[in-house]
């Protein structure tokens, strides 16, 4: 990890992170938490956590980092990784593209030239990725997904929240519709209920912001979990996974995100965001209020500010004084980073 931040400076950085977290704590409070079931706890919308994990294993947290939430669309990143491993890059690309769609996450649109969904970060492509995961039946596929997610997070207790899964299966017309259209076009094969259940089970795996930061850090660390040393995905696929996060991870706001934040990331409708800064760290943000794209309002605002404050934008010139008070992407670490 970078040695740019001197030991004495680390406390200052931690303080800045706390301040950023506090500054955005009341931002967007009035935002509708549109995706949550009516019986969700009333205080749900107030949760706000920011956690980071450096590839050297150092961790930092601000706010609600141990509140569990379903991964929802953030799961698409990790299931795509498994699809790549199970099928290879070429066969996977034949079935799901890597082009931003510019459409909302659940839109029923396809890349008609290549006869496939645009990318695996929107529902159509994620359903194809679920279809590509190897396994005899749903149970085996979900077990394999869970095993991987546990390796990414280093948390052996990750599980599918069956209540959330059932809720999702009940209000699922759009995903079913997508699957029927795709099967009629030859883009998916086999049993539709199985595809949808595999996909929604991955969406229903619950994590905390702290878990999510480790999952991001595992990608930042070339696919090996920096805390446990376990490999979660083959190194050769990490580039493909992180690239598609950069171009497509924030739905139809991906362009603006790339411009303003400039960190590969993926959001989900529970208000979660995972960010991956290759070779440095991952962070996880959780705050349920959503904007029109389905991205966390406070999460996006906080990430924009984090990127500027610490100079994290992957394309920013370190000499540009607008971006960052330090020359390299750094966040606090033990004993000099």
- The annotation status of 201 as a binding-site residue, yes or no, is no
Contacts of 206 (CB under 8 A, 6+ apart): 68, 69, 70, 71, 158, 159, 161, 164
Tell me how far, at minimum, the Cβ of 70 lies from ligand GLN, in Å: 8
Tell me how far, at minimum, the Cβ of 273 lies from ligand GLN, in Å: 11
How many CB atoms neighbour CB 22 within 10 A? Answer: 12
Between 51 and 124, name the residue whose CB sits nearer to ligand GLN. 124
- The annotation status of 119 as a binding-site residue, yes or no, is no
Sign, Cα dihedral of 113, 114, 119, 125: positive
* Among candidate residues 175, 192, 193, 174, the one with its CA nearest the CA of residue 183: 192
Tell me how far, at minimum, the Cβ of 72 lies from ligand GLN, in Å: 3
Instruction: Tell me the residue nearest to ligand GLN as measured from the CB.
Output: 73
φ/ψ of 7, rounded to 5, equals -55, -45
Between 53 and 204, name the residue whose CB sits nearer to ligand GLN. 204
φ/ψ of 41, rounded to 5, equals -60, 145
- The annotation status of 214 as a binding-site residue, yes or no, is no
Tell me how far, at minimum, the Cβ of 12 lies from ligand GLN, in Å: 36
Between 76 and 148, name the residue whose CB sits nearer to ligand GLN. 76
**Residue 290 near residue 33 (C-beta atoms within 8 A):** yes
Q: How far, in Å, CA of 110 to CA of 94, rounded?
A: 13
Q: Residue 17 has which token pair?
A: 């992170």
- The annotation status of 199 as a binding-site residue, yes or no, is yes
Between 70 and 332, name the residue whose CB sits nearer to ligand GLN. 70
Between 151 and 165, name the residue whose CB sits nearer to ligand GLN. 165
Between 34 and 259, name the residue whose CB sits nearer to ligand GLN. 34
Tell me how far, at minimum, the Cβ of 18 lies from ligand GLN, in Å: 28
- The annotation status of 181 as a binding-site residue, yes or no, is no
Q: How far, in Å, CA of 193 to CA of 196, rounded?
A: 5
DSSP label at residue 328: S
Site residues (CB under 6 A) for ligand GLN? 72-73, 105-106, 123, 168, 175, 200, 203, 268-269, 294
Q: Residue 237 has which token pair?
A: 């696929």
Tell me how far, at minimum, the Cβ of 176 lies from ligand GLN, in Å: 11
Q: How far, in Å, CA of 71 to CA of 144, rounded?
A: 16
- The annotation status of 123 as a binding-site residue, yes or no, is yes
Binding residue ranges for substrate: 73, 123, 175, 199, 251, 269
Binding residue ranges: 73, 123, 175, 199, 251, 269
């Amino acid at each position: 990890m970078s040695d740019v931040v001197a030991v004495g400076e680390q406390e200052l950085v931690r303080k800045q992170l706390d301040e950023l977290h506090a500054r955005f704590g009341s931002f967007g409070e009035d935002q509708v938490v549109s995706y949550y079931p009516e019986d969700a706890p009333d205080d749900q919308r107030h949760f706000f956590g920011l956690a980071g994990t450096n590839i050297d294993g150092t961790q930092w947290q601000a706010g609600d980092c141990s509140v569990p939430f379903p991964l929802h669309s953030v799961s698409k990143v990790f299931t795509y990784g498994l699809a790549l491993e199970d099928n290879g890059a070429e066969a996977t690309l034949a079935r799901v593209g890597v082009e931003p769609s510019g459409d909302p996450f659940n839109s029923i649109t396809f890349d008609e030239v290549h006869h496939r969904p645009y990318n695996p970060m929107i529902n159509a492509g994620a359903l194809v990725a679920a279809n590509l995961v190897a396994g005899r039946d749903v149970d085996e596929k979900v077990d394999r997904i869970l095993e991987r997610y546990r390796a990414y997070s280093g948390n052996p207790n990750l599980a599918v929240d069956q209540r959330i899964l059932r809720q999702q299966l009940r209000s699922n017309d759009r995903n079913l519709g997508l699957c029927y259209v795709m099967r009629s076009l030859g883009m998916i094969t086999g049993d539709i209920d199985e595809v949808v259940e595999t996909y929604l089970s991955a969406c229903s795996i619950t994590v905390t912001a702290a878990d999510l930061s480790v999952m991001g850090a595992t990608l930042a660390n070339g696919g090996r979990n920096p805390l446990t040393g376990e490999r979660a995905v083959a190194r050769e696929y990490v580039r493909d996974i992180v690239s598609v996060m950069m171009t497509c991870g924030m739905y139809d706001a991906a362009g603006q995100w790339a411009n303003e934040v400039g960190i590969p990331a993926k959001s989900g409708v529970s208000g979660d965001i995972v960010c991956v800064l290759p070779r440095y760290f991952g962070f996880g943000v959780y705050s349920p209020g959503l904007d029109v794209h389905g991205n966390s309002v406070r999460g996006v605002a906080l990430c924009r500010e984090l990127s500027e404050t610490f100079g994290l934008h992957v394309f920013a010139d370190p000499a540009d004084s607008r971006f960052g008070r330090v020359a390299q992407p750094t966040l606090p670490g033990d004993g000099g980073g």
